[in-house]
Amino acid sequence: MATAKVELTKLKLDNLLPAAPRERYEVADTHVSGLRVRVGDAVVESGKYRGKAAQISFVLLARFPSKPNASPTRRTLGRYSREFPQLTLEAARRKAVEWKAMVAAGKDPAVEAARERAAADEALRAAEVAARSRCTVRQALDRYESEHLHKLRRGKSTRRALDGRSGLLLPFADQDLKCITRQDLAEQVRVRAKLSPISANRQLAYANAFFNWCADEELLDGNPAVRIKKPSKERARDRYHSLEELGEIWKATETLGYPFSHLYRLLIALPMRREELAGLLVAELVLGTDEDPEAVWTLPAARTKRANALRVPLAPLGRSIIIEALKHPDRPSDSAYVFTTKGTSPVSGFAKAKRRLDRAITKARSEAAARGEGDEAVQVESMPHWVVHDLRTTFNTHACEQLGVDAAVADRILNHVATATTSKIMRVYNRSELFEQRRNALSAWESLLRTKVVGGMPDNVVRLSRAASA
């Protein structure tokens, strides 16, 4: 192979011509000994053009100290082209100097370069794997919601409890999922428990289910929430209202206006769950006529806690409350919901309405005290703490104790899982609606309400026999 010694410049490199076909020649650099430019021919295709062009490579000739009598070793430094040089002339000279030093030290620069490339490739692959496996808490929650929570009736509220405005995992939302530790979660649970102990219990349960799902999906090696104890002890609520307290609540609802005055009264007359009544749709109702006031509400399975459809008999009191709500001027007339403010969604803002109701009850008690009415030891106090769910316990207590309603019928009215039935087999096989028994029980409950709570009605309370209610 022919070799010429030339003071190389970029211009000379760009003007090098290919040798004859299948022949190569080299040009030695005068600046760095051992650095050469190898020129060969290559076929170039560009659009319709097909021809021959120079293929230029930088080559280093060096002799290993351990082989002083051997021929110099050639090592390719890189290629050069006018448009896209792999190495510029200056870079090739610097690299040649570095490789000559490696050869003088007994190291093969080609082997070292291959080792460096392999290490770089491995590091790149590891970085890519880490990037793919890295998942923030929010990203994992998005996937959890799309793959699991959307199937649940309370999926949206569960997501809010996890990373909503007061969510347990909100402080970790943008952190790597794998970086969340048990200590982090335990501390956050303690913080939440100081603000709302029972809510912290629920949030911990939701987080535990979420991390179990992450472990099942191999997003985590284990559940960091495991063995974190509930921050608060819970007891089943046994609070129920006396009939006098129910009367106070009924009277105070007058101050709320539509839709909450009607909703709270219906919750007293018809002891269903708050969300079930709040989402009541006009299409679910058959209200009958004044001549034939046979009224039924068909509660679909999608809106019940037990995911079971239920026909609910409506006593005249409940029917009249619903009709009054439907005709109220503040209700959007074209809305599909009975209780609504926007028209396009069911009523919300329960906490604020409950505070207004409690203030109205306290005000009424204070006014009664100023007039010297009632028991002085009670009239100046606020009503003992209660929640809307206590209205269901109130119905169950008075219906069973005062009206003689069978416990199984009361369970069915509340749409419970037959808690009054001791036999598990009976719980599975007893699928009867007990519709007529429930109608009789709710009629007796209405009679008691009209006499002792609503007022202004004849003093007759129906007490059901076991045969009538069972």
| pLDDT, tens only, 120-169 | 888 888 766 665 567 899 999 999 999 999 888 788 889 999 999 999 99
- Residue 374: predicted pLDDT: 53
- Residue 43: predicted pLDDT: 59
Q: Are residues 319 and 436 in the same domain?
A: yes
C-alpha span between 445 and 449 (Å, rounded): 6
pTM of the full structure: 0.58
**272 found inside a domain:** yes
> Is the pLDDT at 331 greater than 80, yes or no?
yes
For a pLDDT cut of 90, what percent of the chain falls above it?
Answer: 47
Mean pLDDT of the chain: 84
> Is the pLDDT at 462 greater than 50, yes or no?
no
- Residue 50: predicted pLDDT: 57
**Three-class HEC string of 386-435:** CCCCHHHHHHHHHHHHCCCCCHHHHHHHHCCCCCCCCCHHHHHHCCCCCH
- Residue 67: predicted pLDDT: 78
- Residue 360: predicted pLDDT: 94
Q: Are residues 143 and 91 in the same domain?
A: no
Q: Are residues 272 and 417 in the same domain?
A: yes
Angle (CA) 413-417-420 rounded to 5° is 75
Averaged over 271-284, what is the pLDDT?
Answer: 93
Q: Are residues 71 and 198 in the same domain?
A: no
Determine the length of the chain. 470
C-alpha span between 412 and 430 (Å, rounded): 11
Averaged over 50-71, what is the pLDDT?
Answer: 78
| pLDDT, tens only, 81-126 | 877 777 888 999 999 999 888 888 888 888 888 888 888 888 888 7
Pairing of strands 2-6, 25-29: parallel
Averaged over 414-442, what is the pLDDT?
Answer: 67
- CB neighbours of 43 closer than 8 A, spacing ≥ 6? 50, 51, 52, 53
Q: Which of 465, 446, 468 is nearest to 457 (CA)?
A: 446
Say if CB 264 and CB 256 are below 8 A apart: yes
Pairing of strands 73-80, 285-286: unpaired
Q: Are residues 82 and 204 in the same domain?
A: no
HSE at residue 429, side-chain half, CA atoms within 13 A, is 5
- Residue 354: predicted pLDDT: 94
Say if CB 104 and CB 72 are below 8 A apart: no
Q: Which pLDDT band holds residue 402 (cuts at 50, 70, 90)? A: very high
Q: Are residues 285 and 427 in the same domain?
A: yes
Q: Which of 262, 278, 279 is nearest to 321 (CA)?
A: 262
- Residue 305: predicted pLDDT: 73
Range of the structural domain that residue 315 is part of: 243-469
Q: Are residues 194 and 269 in the same domain?
A: no
Q: Are residues 252 and 380 in the same domain?
A: yes
**235 found inside a domain:** no
Q: Which residues of 367-380 are buried (b: 16+ CB within 10 A; e: fewer)?
A: ebbeeeeeeeeebe
Alpha-carbon torsion, ordered 175, 181, 186, 188, to 10 deg: -10
Cis amide prior to 259 (ω within 30 degrees): yes
C-alpha span between 441 and 126 (Å, rounded): 69
